[in-house]
Structure 1
Amino acid sequence: MDQPIEVVSRLEAAWNLHDMQAFGALFSKTASFVNRFGRYVHGVDQIIEMHAPIHETIYSDSTLSNELIDVEEIVEEVAVVHFWSRLTVGLAHPAGPHTMDTLVLAVLASRNGIWTISALENVTLTNPRTGEAMLRGDL
């Protein structure tokens, strides 16, 4: 990636192709990832290992749509990117077709002019009173 803002479209594209090698290439070798259930993994190999099986099964017919919220370069060559992510899953998912929204925080760093993700956290939007997942329009 030439600019940190590209993370939004590149993650979406890799997900929608179900190409976990392309997905992993967006991360630094030592990146951390926290999924929407709070599972923490460290290193690009673990990030790919966490995502590959779900893309072969329950998310095999899923699509992702990302929408930028903001990008802030906090120091030279380090940026924080926030974006909305809407995941639509199909019949491959045990719960059947449904849609969920998450808020993503990604920390990116530039090394030799190439931006990669150093840390990413994905939080599912939920109703604080019931714990049920909600969509952004329900906020």
Structure 2
Amino acid sequence: MTFFKSLLIKLKTCWMTNLWKNSICLLPTTTMTLPVLEIYQMIKLEGIVLNVFTQQGGQNKKGESFDDRDKVQILGAMDLPNGDVKNELFTLSVDDYRDFKDFLNRKICIAVGAMASGRNVIFYVAKGAKPISAEFA
């Protein structure tokens, strides 16, 4: 494992474990406290497109109606601090599922953002981002 890959894994792990505490670990020994609302980061998500679909609209608990939403499911692999790999399924809302239809069962890259909601990290597709084949990324 190269130095940069090792450092990236440490930073990813540090960021993910400290995000819920309203702080980001910039280096393994340095922390900086920021309000959660200001924490966002564009990330390149790489994975295999497993499914594209439209989630039916309806009414929420308050009785307000909402429209159909296009979704894509991407199977990604996350490096763990101990060197193992964890597969994780990401279901993301997208502007148009047809952008992903040609990539079914193929590896893609797409720009996503991340934000904290309590102890969870929520991923979303960056506005205007389009998938590209991982071969060309």
TM-score normalised by structure 2 residue count = 0.27
With structure 1 as the length reference, what TM-score do the two structures score?
0.26
Of Structure 1 and Structure 2, the greater strand share is in 2
Q: Which has the larger radius of gyration?
A: 2
